A and B are shown apart, each in its own frame.
Chain A
Amino acid sequence: AQRVTQPEKLLSVFKGAPVELKCNYSYSGSPELFWYVQYSRQRLQLLLRHISRESIKGFTADLNKGETSFHLKKPFAQEEDSAMYYCALLIYNQGGKLIFGQGTELSVKP
């Protein structure tokens, strides 16, 4: 079955601490994975995608096919990183659809 799992509903860290938001996926095809973020009172928006292999706002994510994971990491969390983070997997089937994990709320305390 195609599935995205984010095991943590809430992750709370202090400013300056490292952050790792976990994401595991299940997909028989070649995975294409994304992280979307929703800041308070803002729309859901793309944070990064694995094929870009880029760092956005200090966040990085590496696809690990062996562990079927795509964890989101940042070495030093900032208060403005507080938001809801969703991991997403692109499923190709004629068209395409993004399936999302349940989301992890990141709270960065001062």
Chain B
Amino acid sequence: DSGVTQTPKHLITATGQRVTLRCSPRSGDLSVYWYQQSLDQGLQFLIQYYNGEERAKGNILERFSAQQFPDLHSELNLSSLELGDSALYFCASSTDRVGSVLTFGAGSRLTVL
């Protein structure tokens, strides 16, 4: 599958814990984007990386961090988890640095109990 791959698909954890979500972009894409989708907030942009460098930032909490590795995969780290962090986390990729057309992954569903 040459599309965007996200793991894990589902994750259940407790408050106060830390999790890492992983994303492999579509083959050839250099940009990776992270979005959070919750029932009340809709799709919220978190952060963008282009070829390993952070390029744009949204309303990403300080408890959250991300990085893009030399092989272009990306990880989103969520720490000190709260109930409100329960959401679908989407990764998307694009060929260019401005994200004009995004290819989305299937998402990672995080449930914090």
Contact = CB atoms under 8 A, between A and B. Distances in A.
Q: Is the interface of A mostly helix, strand, loop or mixed?
A: strand
A43 B106 contact: yes
A98 B45 contact: yes
Interface string A85-102: 010001111111111111
Interface string B95-109: 001111111111100
Interface string B37-48: 000001101001
Given A95-B50, A95-B55, A100 B100 contact: no
Contacts of B90: 44
A49 interface: yes
B98 A95 contact: yes
Contact of B98 (A46, A86, A90, A102): A90
Contacts of B33: 97-98
Contact of B97 (A46, A49, A96, A103): A96
Contact of A99 (B45, B100, B104): B45
Interface residues of B, number: 25
B56 interface: yes
Given A95-B48, A95-B56, A95-B98, A43 B43 contact: no
Nearest to B49: A95
B104 A96 contact: no
Contact of A101 (B42, B92, B104): B42
A55 interface: no
Which 3 A-B residue pairings sit nearest by Cβ, starting from the closest?
A95-B55, A96-B98, A95-B56
